[in-house]
Amino acid sequence: MKRGAKRILTVTGVLSIGLAVAAVWFLAQAMPIGTGYVAKYLCTSTFLSKREPQVVFVEDIKPVNPLARMVAWDIDTVSQSVTATAFKVFRSKAIFRQGCGCTLLAGATEAALRDQRFFRPDAGYHPPPPSAALPWPEGEGEAVDPAGLGVNPEILEKALDDAFAEPETNTLRQTRAVAVVYEGQLIAERYAPGFGPDMPLLGWSMSKSFTNALVGVLVHQGRLALGDPAPVAEWQSASDPRRKITLDQLMRMSSGLAFEEIYKPLADATDMLYGSDDFAAFAAGLPLATEPDEQWDYSSGTANIIARIVRHEAEKEVVDYYRFINESLFSRIGMASAIMESDPSGTFVGSSYTVATIRDWARFGLLYLQDGVWDSRRVLPEGWVTYTTTPTPKAPKGQYGALFWLNAGAPNNPGNRLWPHAPLDAYAAQGFQEQKVIVIPSKKLVLVRFGATAPRTAWDTDAFIANVVRALPG
């Protein structure tokens, strides 16, 4: 063989080995995300939502997680856990615990998690289910006749038809549930086959808005102040530039922390959710990318730092700090189904893992529509909703307040906004796959929409709002 041919074969061989090593390395980084997502999502869907796992895997997981096609899973109904494996090498496990839902084992043992006591397994402080004999929201009575409130029932019915329609066969919306609240009353709700009013569903990033409410409760109690430097242990060195970050800057996602809200291997969001045992510590350990208040960057890491602040403040009074979450928020507004799942360290995942029924998500929206007041009692401090819905200065389209999305529009061009055909005062808790709790004060309206919309462009929130508003009087 000629020397040139040998050189080519040698180079080709080296390149092939290099590519193989790179592929193995990439799989080592990627597959824990694939197995972790499958284990955690199936655990929540199986033990909290009581859904059929195979249907969940096909309809909810595979369309958004390409790695799932290489993952096998097993559900243990005795230990109430889900194990997901890939190539007999990569393995993730999530466990269910009564009172705090499902947690992915990452850097923690199952025995250690089952020994945690930040919650009460008997859920004895959780609110009792509302009575079916009472009208919503005090109870779980049927939706009222919209015509009695001046709402056009035919137009409203058509809006719900459109919400569940599938105009494109290749880009499915997969709407699972819709609820409409007008003037404080439930006037319409609809569910896809297999779903119903008693089924708790995962809200993903709508959890951030629950975190907003818990901070609001602590501010109302005088235990936290928005303008104070955030009480984060990792930042307390006198020379640490992060020490000056305030709680308000965390709430508005203007902290300057270098957190990447990207869902792929080697990105912060996935490393935190599927590889970390302490989500807040992961995010708090990141450096500054910019000065605080210099830039707005959507960040699940920020929400989890806030969650740990809430936890630490609550634990000053109660060891099982989930008592604070339930008694100060969920019990106050009748959210009997709500669960905030935790990370392995025991901190509720303020960014992503809240589960509740559609009617309870609607109760949460109604709390904000009523300016933080429930049954004539103030749950959130006076002015809290105004603070929450004031646009963050650096959000270019006025699209973000304090852990809620806004429709305020660009400062000098309000027409440039999230939902151009919706009122300017509309705001929302929003989650992955187009989960929504939309509050529109000027219309006395709360809208809830849940789905498993993999291509997010398949769902049109602007059209949904406009379709419902057309049914309202005036």
pLDDT for 368 equals: 98
Mean pLDDT of 66-85: 95
Among 15-29, 54-68, 187-201, 337-351, the least confident range: 15-29
Q: Tell me the one-letter amino acid at 180.
A: V
Query: Given a cut of 60, is residue 12 above it in pLDDT?
Result: no
The owner of tokens 């000065």 is 291
- Are 256 and 366 part of one and the same domain? yes
- Residue that is last in its domain, among 68, 97, 126: 97
Query: Given a cut of 50, is residue 333 above it in pLDDT?
Result: yes
Query: Given a cut of 60, is residue 106 above it in pLDDT?
Result: yes
- Are 173 and 26 part of one and the same domain? no
The owner of tokens 């390395």 is 25
Split at pLDDT 50, 70, 90, the class of 263 is confident
Mean pLDDT of 102-119: 95
- Are 280 and 392 part of one and the same domain? yes
- Residue that is last in its domain, among 66, 97, 128: 97
Among 185-199, 220-234, 254-268, 394-408, the least confident range: 254-268
Q: Is residue 127 part of a domain?
A: no
The owner of tokens 């850097």 is 107
Q: Is residue 429 part of a domain?
A: yes
pLDDT for 31 equals: 84
Q: Measuring CA to CA, how many Å separate 474 from each of 148, 159, 252, 321?
A: 14, 17, 35, 46
Cis, peptide link before residue 265, omega less than 30° from 0: no
Q: Is residue 120 part of a domain?
A: no
Tell me the pLDDT of the chain averaged across its residues. Answer: 93
Query: Given a cut of 70, is residue 430 above it in pLDDT?
Result: yes
How many Å apart are CA 348 and CA 346, to the nearest integer?
6
Q: Is residue 118 part of a domain?
A: no
Helix (H) or strand (E) holding 105: none
How many Å apart are CA 122 and CA 132, to the nearest integer?
23
pLDDT for 23 equals: 47
316: its two tokens: 């000053």
pLDDT for 4 equals: 57
pLDDT for 2 equals: 59
- Are 83 and 217 part of one and the same domain? no
pLDDT one-digit tens code per residue, 273-301: 999 999 999 999 999 999 999 999 999 99
- Are 256 and 343 part of one and the same domain? yes
Written as one string, the DSSP assignment of 44-97 is: HHHHTS---HHHHIIIIITTT-GGGGG-EEEEETTTTEEEEEETTTEEEEEEEE
Helix axes 461-469, 153-164, angle to 10 degrees: 170
Mean pLDDT of 139-165: 97
pLDDT one-digit tens code per residue, 363-384: 999 999 999 999 999 999 999 9
Query: Given a cut of 60, is residue 265 above it in pLDDT?
Result: yes
- Are 58 and 169 part of one and the same domain? no
pLDDT for 17 equals: 56
Q: What is the pTM of this model?
A: 0.94
The count of structural domains within the chain is 2
pLDDT one-digit tens code per residue, 125-135: 667 788 888 99
Q: Is residue 105 part of a domain?
A: no
Q: Is residue 133 part of a domain?
A: no
How many Å apart are CA 102 and CA 92, to the nearest integer?
13
Supply the CATH number for residue 462's domain: 3.40.710.10
pLDDT one-digit tens code per residue, 310-331: 999 999 999 899 999 999 999 9
Q: Is residue 114 part of a domain?
A: no
- Are 227 and 367 part of one and the same domain? yes
pLDDT one-digit tens code per residue, 440-463: 999 999 999 999 998 888 999 999
- Are 159 and 17 part of one and the same domain? no
Split at pLDDT 50, 70, 90, the class of 474 is confident
Query: Given a cut of 60, is residue 6 above it in pLDDT?
Result: no
On the CB side of 77, how many CA atoms lie within 13 Å of its CA?
A: 4
Q: Is residue 393 part of a domain?
A: yes
- Are 154 and 93 part of one and the same domain? no
- Are 164 and 23 part of one and the same domain? no
- Are 37 and 168 part of one and the same domain? no
Angle 331-203-288 from CA coordinates, rounded to 5°: 105
Angle 50-56-59 from CA coordinates, rounded to 5°: 145
What share of the chain in percent tops pLDDT 70? 93
- Are 403 and 462 part of one and the same domain? yes
Q: 92 is in which domain, residue-wise?
A: 3-97
Compute the radius of gyration of the chain from its Cα atoms.
23
- Residue that is last in its domain, among 79, 97, 115: 97
Query: Given a cut of 50, is residue 21 above it in pLDDT?
Result: no
Helix (H) or strand (E) holding 280: helix 279-284
Q: Which residues contact 284 (CB under 8 A, 6 or more apart)?
A: 232, 233, 234, 235, 305, 308
Mean pLDDT of 135-163: 97
